[in-house]
Structure 1
Amino acid sequence: MLRVPGVGALVLMSLLGFAGYALLLPTAPLWAAHGGADEGGAGLVNAVLMLATVAFQTAVPGALRRLGWRTTLVAGVLLLGLPSPALALTDQLGWILVASAVRGAGFAVVTVCGATAIAELVDSSRRGRAIGVYGLAVAAPQVLLTPSAAWFAEEVDFRVVLVAGALPALAVPFAAALGRLLDGTVAGGAAEALGVPRSGRARTLLALALPSVVLLAVTTPGGALLTFAPQLGHGAAVAMVGLLGLTVAAALSRWLVGGLADRYGPSRFVPPLLVLCAAGLGLCGWSLTGSGPGPVGLVAGMTIVGVSYGSLQNLTLVTAFAAVPDRDRSIASAVWNIGFDAGTGLGSLVVGFVAAGTSFTVGLLTTAALCLAVAPAALVGGRRHAPPHA
C-alpha cells in the first residue's frame, strides 16, 4: 500500500497530525482540572474540540471544491498544530476552550481529507486493507503518545506536552505534496462531486445512517475513556497502562480487520463487536467499585473496549464508502468523521457530567447501554444490506 502514489505522504501527514491530537486528548482536560475545573468542566474541553470538529467537517467538501486539496490540507495541519503551545500560557478553562475550538477546525480538515484521500488513491477491491493501513497511521500516535502524555504532564511538566502538541504543523510539506497529487487527479466531474450532491441527497444520508450510528455508539465510550482515564482514581501509572492497552488493541484490530472486511464483508462482525464493547465497559465500571477487580480489571476492560473501538472504525468506514456512489466519497467521509468525533465529544461531555453528579461507574455503564441498544439495529441492517458473497 505504501508504494501507491500519495499513500506515503498521507501516512506521514496523518502520523504528525494525530500526534498532536493524541498528546492533548488526555492532557488538555487534565490541564483544565489543574486550573480548578471540575469533572464537567474538564469534560467540556474535548467536547468543544469535537463540537468544532463536527461543525467544520460539514464545510470541508465545499472547501476542497473551492480552494483545492493543497490549500485545504495545509490550512488544516496549521490550525490543528499552532494553537497548542498557546495552551501553556494559562490553565484557565475559557482559554483552553478557545484553543480547543481552533484546533477542532484543523482536525476537521485532517480527518475528512485523510479518509477521502485513501478512497481516491486506492481502488475499491483493496479498500479494506488500505483503510487498515491508514487506520494504523492514525492509531500509532495514540498508541505511543496518549498513554504517556498525561503521566508525563503530571510527573514532569505540562508545558512540554502542550508545546509538543504543535507537531501537526510539521506536516505542511507532506500535506502540500499530497494536495498537489490530488489536485492533479481529482479533477473535472470528480471535483464537482466533492460538493453536496444536488440530487439524491436524502438517499445518500439515509444510506450512511446505520454506520454512523454504530460508530457513534462505540466512539462515545472510547472518547470517555481517552478523556477521563487519568481521573478514574487508580493513579497515573494505571491510567497509562490502561490507555496503552486500549490504543494498542485499537490500532492492531483496526489494521487486521481490514482483510476480513474485504473477504467476508463488514456487516457480520458489527453486532458482536458492540456486545464485546459493552462487556468491556461493564468490566471498567465494576473495577471502579469497592467490590470490583481494581486496576487489573480497569486495564483489561479498556483493552477489550479497544478491540471493538478499532475494529468498528474500519468496518463502518468500509460500509460507508460501499453504501454510496463514488461521486459521494467525500460526503461519506464527512458523515463518518462527524459520527466519530460527535461520539468522542459526547462521551467526554456526558460521562463528565454524569460522573460529576453520580460516579464514573454510572457514566461508563450508560455508554455500555448505548452499545447494547444499537446492536439489534446493526444486526437487522447488516442482514438487509449484506452482499451476496457474505
Structure 2
Amino acid sequence: MLDGRTNDARGRADGAPSVWRAPGMPALLGSTALGFAGVALLMPVAPLRVLDGGADELGAGTVNAVMMLCTVIAQLLVGKTLQRLGWRRTLMLGACLLGAPAPVHLLTDDVWAVTALAAVRGLGFGIITVCGAMGVAVLVEPARRGRAVGAYGLAIAAPQFLLVPVAPWLAERAGYGPVFVLAAVPLLAVPLAPPVARALRAFDRPAEGPAGSAGRRDTAALRRALTGPIAALLAITSAGGAVLTFTPGLDPDPTTVYLALLVFTGTSALCRWAFGGFADRRGAAPAIAPLLLLGAAGLAAIGVGAADGPGTTGRALLIGGMLVVGVAYGGLQNLTLVHAFAVAGEEERPAVGTAWNVGFDAGTGLGALAAGAVAASFSYPVAYAVLALVTALVGVAWAIPRRRTGAREPGMIRTTGSSAGGTPGPGE
C-alpha cells in the first residue's frame, strides 16, 4: 500500500532521527503549541467572563459549544481550502482567525458578543487542528506513527497543562486583561507556516494508479471502520469539554480550581505522550475500553466531590477524579487517532484527520453544552453523573467481544485502483 512518499523518506524508519527532529516536525509542533495555547487560555476564561456578566450556566456552556461547532464546520472545509490556498496560506489564515479576536474580549462581557468571537476563533481552530493531524501523518512514516502522534499530542497538551489552570487564576487575581492579550499568541505561528508547507510539499507525493487516475473510495467501509474510534473519542472529549468549561464553578477557592485543572491537564499531557510507544508496540485497540471505563469512574468521583461541597473530602474527590479522567482523556486522544489511521489505511489520511478532529471538537462542544444544560436544570453532580454513564456505556460497548469492522487489522480499507494518497493541495 502506497503512502505517497519517496523511498528515502520511508527509509527513515531504520536508524531514523527522533520524530521531534523529522523535517517539518519542529515547525508543525511549534505552530500547534501556539494555537492550542490561545485556546487553553480562553476555554475556561471566556465562559467565566460571561458568567460574571450575568449569564447562566447554559449561556456559559454555549460559548465553548459554538466555538466547537464552528471548529467542526471549518474542519469539513479544510480540504477545499487547502486546494484553493495551499498549505502556507491556509495555516496563516488559521493562526490569524484564532489569535486576532482574543484582545477584542476586552471590550465586552455580553454573552452574544463573546459567543460571536468564539465562532471566529473556532474557524481558525478547525484549520489548525486538521492541518496538524494530517501533517503528522505525512511527515513521519507509519512504523513510528504512535510516537509521532504522541509528540503532536504533547504539543497540544503541554499548553493546556501550563495555561488552563493558570488562566482562571490569573483572571481572578489580575483581571481579564492579561489573559485576553496573551490569548493572541496564535499569531506568532504565522512565520512557521512556510517551513511546514515546504516539508509537506516535499514528502506528500501523490501516488498514481495504473492509468494515472485516482482510485474509488469505499466510503461505507471507511465509515464503519471509523465508527468505533470516533465513538470512543466523542465520549471522552465530551467529558473533557465539561471539565475544561465548568471546573471553575465547582469550588469557590481559586487555589483548589487551579490544582484540579493542573492535575487534569498535566496527567493528560503525560498520557498523550506515554501511550504513543504503547500503541507502536501493542496496537491501540486493546487499551481503549479500559480507559473509557476508567474515565467514567473519574467522572463519577468528580460528581460526588461536587455534591459533597468545598470540604476536605469533596476537594479530595474532585482532584482525584481529575487525575483519573486526565489519564483517560490523554491516553484516548492518542489511541483513537492511531487506531483510526491503522484501520482506514494510508490512502485515507486526509479523511481520518478530518473525522478525528471533527469528533474531538464536536465532543468538546457537546460536553460543554450538555453539561451546562443539565447543571442549569439540576446540578453539577447530576451533569457529571450523566457524563459518567455515557462514557461507561461506550466503554462496555468496546469491551463486549463482537466482530467489529473497526477492530480489524490495518489496511482494511481498499480502493479500486490506487489512491491519490496525499493531502489536498500540497503546494505552498
Q: TM-score, normalised by structure 1?
A: 0.95
C-alpha change, 1:264 and 1:276, in structure 2 (3 Å) is same
**Alignment CA distance shift 1:266-1:188 (3 Å):** closer
Residue 204 of structure 2, aligned match among 159, 166, 186: 186
2:266 aligned with 1:252:
no
SS at match of 1:37: coil
Q: Distance in 1 between matches of 2:242 and 2:265?
A: 13
Q: Aligned ranges for residues 195-210 of structure 1 at < 5 Å?
A: 199-210=217-228
Q: For the residues of structure 1 that align with 2:282 and 2:377, how far apart are their CA atoms?
A: 44
Displacement after TM superposition at 1:87 (Å): 1.1
- Does 2:140 correspond to 1:126? no
Q: Does 1:313 align with 2:319?
A: no
Alpha-carbon deviation of 1:239?
A: 0.9
Give CA-to-partner distance per residue, 1:87-120, whole Å, 9 cap, x none: 1111111110111000000000110110110000
Give the drift of 1:377.
Answer: 2.2
Aligned pairs for 1:230-245 (under 5 A) are 230-245=248-263
Q: 1:367 aligns with which of 387, 412, 419?
A: 387
Counterpart for residue 348 of structure 1 = 368
Question: Are 2:302 and 1:302 aligned?
Answer: no
Return 288-297 or 116-125, whichever deviates more.
288-297
Which residue of the other structure, out of 299, 308, 323, is the alignment partner of 2:343?
323
SS for the counterpart of 2:251 is coil
Which of 35, 51, 65 is the equivalent residue of 1:33?
A: 51
Amino acid at match of 1:176: P
* Secondary structure class of the residue paired with 1:68: helix
Runs of 4+ in 1 over 3 A off after TM superposition: 187-190, 196-199, 380-384
Amino acid in structure 1 at the alignment position of 2:364 = T
Matched to 1:53, the amino acid is T
Q: Please, what is the CA RMSD of the aligned residues?
A: 1.8
Tell me the alpha carbon deviations over residues 157-209 of structure 1, each in whole angstroms, 9 at most, x when there is no partner.
1011011111001111112220232134324459xxxxx98532222222111
Instruction: Please tell me whether residue 379 in structure 1 is matched to residue 399 in structure 2.
Output: yes
The alpha-carbon deviation at position 63 of structure 1 amounts to 1.5
- Counterpart for residue 15 of structure 2: none
1:219 corresponds in structure 2 to: 237
How far is the alpha carbon of 1:37 from its aligned partner?
0.6
Aligned to 2:285: 267
Q: Which of 356, 359, 366 is the aligned partner of 1:339?
A: 359
The equivalent residue for 2:166 is 148
> How far off its partner does 1:65 sit?
2.4
Distance across 2 between alignment mates of 1:245 and 1:74: 33
Contact 1:53 1:106 survives alignment (8 Å): yes
Preserved CA contact (<8 Å) 1:234 1:295: no
Q: Does the residue aligned with 1:376 lie in a helix, a strand or coil?
A: helix
Q: Distance in 1 between matches of 2:359 and 2:308?
A: 35
Counterpart of 1:54 in structure 2 is 72
- C-alpha distance after superposition, 1:336-369 (max 9, x if no partner): 0111101110111000010011000000110101
Q: Does 2:205 correspond to 1:167?
A: no
Q: Deviations over 1:41-64 (max 9, x none)?
A: 000010000000011111112222
| 1:359-390, Cα deviation, whole Å (9 max, x unpaired) | 000001101011111112222478742549xx
Query: What does the per-residue CA deviation read over 1:104-147, in whole Å, with 9 as the maximum and x for residues that have no partner?
Result: 00000110110110000001010001100110011000000000
2:103 is matched with 85
Rate the CA distance shift 1:375–1:197 in 2: closer, same or farther, 3 A: farther
In structure 2, what residue type is equivalent to 1:186? D
Amino acid at match of 2:318: L
Is 1:289 aligned to residue 318 of structure 2? no
Corresponding pairs, count: 383
What are the Cα deviations for residues 274-330 of structure 1, in whole angstroms up to 9, with x where unaligned? 111011011100011238821111011011100000000000000111121322201
* Stretch of structure 1 that moved more, 196-205 or 125-134: 196-205
1:2 is matched by which residue type in structure 2?
Answer: W
Q: Which residue of 2 is the match for residue 193 of structure 1?
A: none
SS in 1 for 2:164: helix
Residue in structure 2 matching 1:4, options 14, 22, 26: 22
8 Å contact kept, 1:75–1:106: yes
The whole-number CA distance in structure 1 between the counterparts of 2:229 and 2:206 is 29
1:135 aligns with 2:150: no
Q: Secondary structure at the match of 2:308?
A: coil
| Conserved 8 A contact 2:293-2:396 | no
Distance 2:151 2:33 in 1: 12
- The SS at the match of 2:307 is coil
Structure 2 partner of 1:176: 194
CA distance in 2, matches of 1:321, 1:50: 23
Aligned-partner Cα distance in 2 for 1:29–1:37 = 9
**What SS does structure 2 have at the residue aligned with 1:5?**
coil
Q: Unpaired segments of 5 or more residues in structure 1?
A: 191-195
